[in-house]
A = this chain, B = another copy of it.
Amino acid sequence: MNSRSTLKNISEKLNISISTVSRALKNHPDISDLTKRKVKELAELMEYEPNSYAVNLRTNISKVFGLIVPVISNLFYESFISAVEEDARQLGYTLLILQSGDDSITEIENLKLCKQNRVAGIFICIATHAAHTETYRRYIDAGMPLVFFDKVPDIDSCNKVCPADEEAATIAATTIIKYNKKRVLAIFGNPELSITNKRIQAFSKNFASDAPKIPLVIKHADSSAQAKKMVLEYFTTKKADHIFCMSDEILIGVMQATYELGLKIPQDVSILAISNGFIPGLFNPSITYVETSGYKLGKLAMKRMSDHLNGQTF
């Protein structure tokens, strides 16, 4: 059990005081080079590693970030997490990852857990039906560095980073319009999410202004299966020569539907999705997509976090 290696028993073996050992290890100028060397050598030998709990208790400064996400197994979140982890490691931080299961109760439990663990900051993607505005406020007011991402609450003065929803939707819309389609079917996700609304607004606004004559049908689907069913039903009575998919989830359902319908892509119907590119690349031929990268968003979120930690407010 080498975890028995503490400042104290290093100091005893060297017949010096604990404080000297502590300072030697952190290159304090008060300590002679000789002592420093001796201490460091012995520490290495004894595999000394500072007890982070003691350090934290003393300094009250933690080296771990909390990260709350509805589910981990999701293309977008996993790339986000991946990016955040990379940067965190760079800064000497480590990540406490919690999933809320998209449930608002466990979400606040997770928040509590983070607080309990005295994390240095929290990255959070709020649950779908969560509107704990007051709760978030309390954490912010208590000085907890909070960075919302992806799904964000309607709070003014807080850090939020979210995919460039409007931009992506706008690019998608203009691209589709450019191809001069006859009838466009656009499938979006859960209408209760701000991300959905942002995209839907930007998307339809572009159509209204730039191509008011193109018939645009907008539908909502909560899952791949629902998206699939929706397309199948739609095509029994009508036709569309383009389908827009707001997310990977929807794209998957749509692809299955087009296969069952025997539609050729892009001859019979063309498809455009908003995605990070992984799923669209799986199909043959590849589906064109407007990129939103969880990875880049993660990098951005971490930048926000460190800015915040360095005193920036907004």
Contact = CB atoms under 8 A, between A and B. Distances in A.
Interface of A: 1-3, 49-54, 56-57, 62, 64, 71-75, 78-79, 81-82, 85-86, 89, 94-99, 106, 112-113, 115-118, 138, 142-143, 252, 255-256, 259, 279, 282-285
A97 B284 CA distance: 35
Given A53-B53, A116-B49, A96 B64 contact: yes
Contact of A117 (B52, B86, B143): B52
A89 B101 CA distance: 12
Nearest to A101: B86
A58 to B, nearest CB: 9
Q: What copy number does this chain have within its complex?
A: 2
Contacts of A97: 81, 85, 95, 97
Contacts of A64: 96, 117
Contacts of A113: 94
Contacts of A79: 73
B72 A118 contact: no
A95 B72 CA distance: 12
A74 B81 CA distance: 12
Nearest to A278: B73
**Which one of A53, A78, A256 has the highest number of Cβ atoms from chain B below 10 Å of its Cβ?**
A53
A282 B284 contact: no
Contacts of A256: 284
A2 B95 contact: no
A85 B57 contact: no
Contacts of A1: 142-143
Contacts of A282: 252, 255, 279, 282-283
A51 B118 contact: yes
Given A52-B117, A283-B282, A142 B72 contact: no
A33 B50 CA distance: 41
26 contacts: A49-B115, A51-B116, A51-B118, A52-B116, A52-B118, A53-B56, A53-B57, A53-B62, A57-B57, A71-B82, A72-B85, A78-B78, A81-B97, A89-B98, A89-B106, A94-B96, A94-B113, A94-B117, A95-B96, A95-B97, A96-B96, A255-B282, A255-B284, A256-B284, A282-B283, A283-B283
Contacts of A3: 115, 118, 142
A283 B1 CA distance: 52
A274 B97 CA distance: 29
A72 to B, nearest CB: 5
A196 to B, nearest CB: 23
Contacts of A51: 57, 116, 118
A193 to B, nearest CB: 21
Contact of A85 (B78, B82, B99, B118): B99
Contacts of A2: 138, 142
B89 A78 contact: no
Nearest to A284: B259
Closest 9 CB pairs of A and B: A259-B284, A73-B78, A53-B56, A53-B57, A53-B53, A73-B82, A72-B82, A97-B97, A49-B116
